A and B are shown apart, each in its own frame.
Chain A
Amino acid sequence: MDPKIQTKELGFYYGKVQALRKVTLDVKEHQITALIGPSGCGKSTFLRTLNRMNDIIPNTHLEGEVLLDGLNIYEPEIDVVEVRKRVGMVFQQPNPFPKSIFENVIFGPRMLGLNHLTSLDEVVERSLKAAALWDEVKDNLGKSGLALSGGQQQRLCLARVLAVEPEVILMDEPCSALDPLATLKIEELMQELKQSYTIVIVTHNMQQAARVSDWTGFFLLGELVEYNKTSEIFSRPKDKRTEDYITGRFG
């Protein structure tokens, strides 16, 4: 099967500082790919190149290619809004808008002008159900998204992404601000979501990578040191640096 996303010799610079060096990686469809590595290794930067979120940061540039279904998303004729619709993102800090739960979920479809496709209520219900939040909030859709607990906020952010029906979901340390129970809930959810979506997750937590992912990439100093099936990486790492990292010798 063709990879959903392919990066080729991807380099990224903040000003003159190189944050990514020739990263070549295939993200398989309907799989969970975890990116691990110590702080500042470039894994978050890499993740953000996949939906062009780094475009917002001034004074940066990119070399190499990011192919989504074989098409380079950095080609000039590509519509960045279309890219972000197809490749959604959940951030480290839950960031619901200071609006109602309903308005949060419907935000994406509204912005994309999709409100005519189906009734808004249906979209909200479907998205909240898919994010396993529906039962907790169905009677309070008018409540502010900020009034929810951290774990609920993160699931709301996930529902918000699902509402635009993306193909890929990027998660940037989605559980780092959550307690263990809320983390477990998100992890269970990921297993369900991978039936319909392709997921790429950046995580600080190696156990999480081992638990949830099918593929794992280990980043160090902007380089992709090793990329393989998660079971391989954690049982038979090929690179000495990977082995040192996963056995807790640094990082």
Chain B
Amino acid sequence: MSRYFVDRVSRRVVYIFGVVAFLILVFIAIFILKESLPALKELGIVNILFGAKWYPSKDTFGILTMLAGSVVTTLLALAIAMPLALGCAIFLAEVAPPHIRNIVRPAVELLVGIPSVVYGLVGMLILCPVIARLSGTGSGSSVLAAAVVLAIMVLPTITSISEDSLRAVPARYKEGAFALGATHWQTIHHVLLPAARRGITAAVILGTGKAIGETMAMVMVIGNSPIFPASIFRPARTLTGNIAVEMASATGIHESALFTTGLVLFILVLLINSIGLLAYRRRA
């Protein structure tokens, strides 16, 4: 009897934990929405989303420049990270002998564990001065610096999921290709990569979600000026940075506008991750 009792109780307990995890998400969503409402009501969603000017002193809160800042740094980061990550995944899945793979794969995965602030620090102290010298102006805090730091940060995510997808391609496809006289590289290019396409797409989308949400490292290297990212050598500001930089000093409608920034970010990341997870589950 007591065994069944323990069984029943533990089932209830973990059930509650599961529900709590879900409720936390719902609670945060409701909280952000509630805090955003004053700004949404007073300024209107169109003015906030498509307003290009962010002047808290004049009660003007348009987040378009920050939205552009986030999107441009993320896309640039992906453009840098994609070839690297894919190359690394192909190397690990197909080329590296086991003893090399056993060193490189954990090393790539350890990159995930490095705190974001450390990436920011390295970016500030090494990357920004180099960019300042290259561009000839400013401190080097720029879209480019942010994109490079972001690229390194999403590299492990994209690499390991892509590698898993390549490994998940049935061995009989590879054998078939070899038996038809394809070389190893032709097999990778024409058989393995197309067969792993969905998984790789999912990897990139999940990496995108991670990149859009990154805050600390971005604040440290992007310069945080709320201006349109017209040049990669100039500063900009991301949605995440907007909240981090101003929250401490904001009150009233300004504070509410920052929550609206958070709401936009929340929805954006939710959408991207859902698409990513969907693609990941549906991979062949």
Residues of A in contact with B (beta carbons under 8 Å apart): 51, 53, 56, 81-82, 84-85, 88-89, 91, 93, 95-99, 107-108, 110-112, 157, 160-161, 164
Q: Which of B170, B173, B175, B180 contacts A161 (CB 8 A)?
A: B180
Cross-chain contact A93 with B172 (CB below 8 angstroms)? yes
Cross-chain contact B190 with A107 (CB below 8 angstroms)? yes
Question: What are 17 of the A-B contact pairs (CB < 8 Å)?
Answer: A53-B179, A56-B174, A56-B175, A82-B181, A85-B181, A93-B172, A95-B170, A95-B172, A107-B180, A108-B180, A108-B182, A110-B190, A111-B177, A111-B183, A112-B181, A157-B176, A161-B179
Interface centre among B176, B178, B194 (most CB of A within 10 A): B176
Given A107-B190, A111-B186, A111-B190, CB of A97 within 8 Å of CB of B179: no
Query: Nearest Cβ in chain A — how far from B38, in angstroms?
Result: 53
Chain B, Cβ-Cβ closest to A161: B180
Number of interface residues of B (CB under 8 A): 19
Residues of B in contact with A (beta carbons under 8 Å apart): 170, 172-183, 186, 190-191, 194-195, 284
Assembled-state Cα–Cα distance A39/B9 (Å): 51
Chain A, Cβ-Cβ closest to B174: A56
Query: Nearest Cβ in chain A — how far from B137, in angstroms?
Result: 51
The 6 A-B pairs of least Cβ separation, nearest first, read A108-B180, A95-B172, A89-B179, A111-B182, A85-B181, A95-B176
Given A97-B191, A107-B190, A111-B186, CB of A164 within 8 Å of CB of B181: yes
Assembled-state Cα–Cα distance A146/B177 (Å): 16
Chain A, Cβ-Cβ closest to B186: A111
Interface centre among A98, A99, A112 (most CB of B within 10 A): A98
Chain B, Cβ-Cβ closest to A92: B172
Inter-chain contacts of A91 with B (CB < 8 A): 172, 175-176, 179
Cross-chain contact A53 with B194 (CB below 8 angstroms)? no
Assembled-state Cα–Cα distance A56/B177 (Å): 12
Inter-chain contacts of A93 with B (CB < 8 A): 172
Given A95-B173, A111-B186, CB of A88 within 8 Å of CB of B179: yes
Query: Nearest Cβ in chain B — how far from A173, in angstroms?
Result: 13
Inter-chain contacts of B284 with A (CB < 8 A): 98
Assembled-state Cα–Cα distance A85/B177 (Å): 11
Inter-chain contacts of B172 with A (CB < 8 A): 91, 93, 95
Cross-chain contact A99 with B194 (CB below 8 angstroms)? yes
Assembled-state Cα–Cα distance A98/B173 (Å): 9
Cross-chain contact B191 with A84 (CB below 8 angstroms)? no
Query: Nearest Cβ in chain B — how far from A45, in angstroms?
Result: 14
Given A93-B172, A95-B172, A97-B173, CB of A51 within 8 Å of CB of B190: no
Give me 7 other A-B pairs in contact (C-beta within 8 A), A91-B172, A111-B177, A160-B180 excluded.
Answer: A81-B181, A81-B183, A88-B179, A89-B179, A93-B172, A98-B173, A112-B181
